[in-house]
Structure 1
Amino acid sequence: MFSSSLRTVARTQVRSFAKKAAPKKAAAPAAASGGGSDLAHQPSLKLFGVHARYATATYVAASKAGSLDAVETELLAIDSVTKSNPAFSSFLKDPTVAPSAKETQINSIFGDKISDITVNLMSALAGNARLSETDKVVGAYSELMKAKRGEVAAVITSAAPLSKAVADQVTAALKTKVGSAKVVLSMEVDPTIMGGLQVQIGDEFVDLSVASRIDAVSRSINGPQLSEL
């Protein structure tokens, strides 16, 4: 079981992260819709799969309550704690703890410390034995929020860290591709690509790495020989 001391640590870390992640001047939340249909609160991006269903249901509930940003902050806080707190991560992934027991523990850990919407999501994941997939649900919710803000996620992978000047050039090039959308750029380093770049923007992947070029040359050389066998 998750000890009381670890519960306290988890609560404290979530509250601390949420406070730091919250915007300095958050806009007042929109009034909750009393009688509107779910259609008016559906996200603009359609995702598929189990994780997407949890994320979309949470998005609709948060939209009705005018707390989309607050729920996103809380979910990112939980995800951060999961990655930084091995004990909490083990608790989420432990298959020997019954779903009902995990659900009780989740309510005990968070209780009224975060919004009912976020607690309900975590409780549902616990009850359905999916707490180990929390990071995927959080990722899906973040994708929905990026779409709402008109953002496009882009990941640039290079063999060595890019200078600011080169990174700015890449960002400018990406902006011409996505039009008015805001590019949210993250950089990764992978020495195995040897040089060049790999670009993941939305669901599109472009491989401009040296490794891919070498592989292409190798295939072109070996192709005719293989076809003659």
Structure 2
Amino acid sequence: MGSATTHALAASNAALGAASGVDLGVAGDLFAAARALADTPQLSGALAYWGSAPDARAKVATAVFAALGQTAQDVLQKVVRERWSDAGDLVDGVEELAIRAAATAEPEADIERELFQFARIVAADPQLELALGSRLGDQAVKGRLVQSLLNGRANAATALIASSVVQRPRERRVRELLGRAERIVSDARGRTVATVTSAVALGAAQVDRLAAWLKSSYGTDISVNTIIDRTLVGGLRVQIADDVIDATVSSRLSDLRQRLAG
């Protein structure tokens, strides 16, 4: 991500944060805008082109997105006036705003956990992952498939995010798209995602104590996702971004075997 995009994304996020009446309708409008930009390279290229005046780019956006709700239009006006490093960053930026809007619309929903669980379901089903990740076929059909899978099983905001991101795979696996969305939701809520792998299921009190300890270590609220892996024998493996804390029995046994062999 270039410095121009970093600044543009920060300004765009601030514009969304200052907007009133952000609901799932606004999030849906922004997802629709992201798809339109991705599907029309000439449009995204024109709106990201540094050589044109901001007012000219805003005029184009007004004409193209006239059918969207007023709140989404106002946010997009701010977005296209910013200076993005390239068209791809502009598209990703609008999609991020859509994810943040969905998180804002449903502040009490456990969107991070539901996205994580759905990513696990997809990862465990090769046929489903292939169906959702393939570049062939109608992308809208993929979105409707995800909606049907999550209907009654997840919050409406989660279903909107998941069904929207799978429609724009851009050379990424579905689980990666869902993981990115999960991190954006956590960031929008001032949290960091931790993935905790254990040999047995952790109780609620154990998860709370672990989250409190991680918060004191990292200085931020932590959203904990748990995975059970019987091969670990015992202990925990905790991953936060690129940091890995491996205190599993299997890891210690592996270290011991290496020392004995070496």
Report the TM-score when normalising by structure 2: 0.47
Question: Where does residue 189 of structure 1 map in the other structure?
Answer: 228
Gaps of 5+ in 1: 1-26, 43-49, 224-229
Count, aligned residues: 170
Give me the identity figure in percent: 18
Alpha-carbon contact 1:59-1:68 (below 8 Å) kept: no
Q: Spell out the pairing of 1:149-160 with structure 2 (5 A cutoff).
A: 149-160=189-200
Deviation at 1:144, TM superposition (A): 1.8
- The 2-side partners of 1:175 and 1:81 are apart by 25
Deviation at 1:206, TM superposition (A): 0.8
- The amino acid of 1:28's aligned partner reads G
Question: Where does residue 102 of structure 1 map in the other structure?
Answer: 138
Deviation at 1:152, TM superposition (A): 0.8
Question: Where does residue 209 of structure 2 map in the other structure?
Answer: 169
CA-based RMSD of the aligned residues comes to: 4.7
Q: Spell out the pairing of 1:47-58 with structure 2 (5 A cutoff).
A: 55-58=92-95
Distance change (3 Å), C-alpha of 1:93 and 1:124? closer
- The amino acid of 2:22's aligned partner reads P
Deviation at 1:83, TM superposition (A): 4.9
Q: Deviations over 1:27-76 (max 9, x none)?
A: 8318432532458799xxxxxxx9x986544124667xx55646997xx7
Question: Where does residue 260 of structure 2 map in the other structure?
Answer: 221
- The amino acid of 2:77's aligned partner reads G
Whichever of the two has the greater Rg, that structure is 1
Question: Where does residue 59 of structure 1 map in the other structure?
Answer: 96
- The 1-side partners of 2:199 and 2:105 are apart by 37
- The reply to whether residue 204 of structure 1 matches residue 243 of structure 2 is yes
Report the TM-score when normalising by structure 1: 0.52
- The 2-side partners of 1:136 and 1:108 are apart by 19
Gaps of 5+ in 2: 1-19, 24-70, 148-155
2:21 to 23, 28, 36: 28
Q: Deviations over 1:185-221 (max 9, x none)?
A: 1222222111221111232111111111122122222
Q: Spell out the pairing of 1:1-12 with structure 2 (5 A cutoff).
A: none
